Amino acid sequence: MLIEAGIDVLSSQCGFVTGLGIVTVCGAGTLDINIHEIPAQSIEDAEDLEFSQIEDLIDEETGVGYQTIECIN
């Protein structure tokens, strides 16, 4: 989606949100996230596509954060 919009993706990682609990049922969402590094000048364009900066995910007060993991194909 980023590349198709003309945004250079410098690197990508897999991860998951920490500090939250969810109900695990078939068809429900997960806490898995994809983390993409893009040029600073492209952040606004990415946000227009509903992407968020990783810093927006972190809330030290509630303990919400993220952890990177190895991507599984």
Taking residues 51-67, what's their average pLDDT?
97
pLDDT tens digits, residue range 45-55?
Answer: 999 999 999 99
**Residue-wise over 27-55: b if at least 16 C-beta within 10 A, else e?**
eeeeeebeebebeeebeeebeeeebeebe
Domain borders along the chain are 11-69
User: pTM for the whole thing?
Assistant: 0.85
State the chain's mean pLDDT as an integer.
Answer: 95
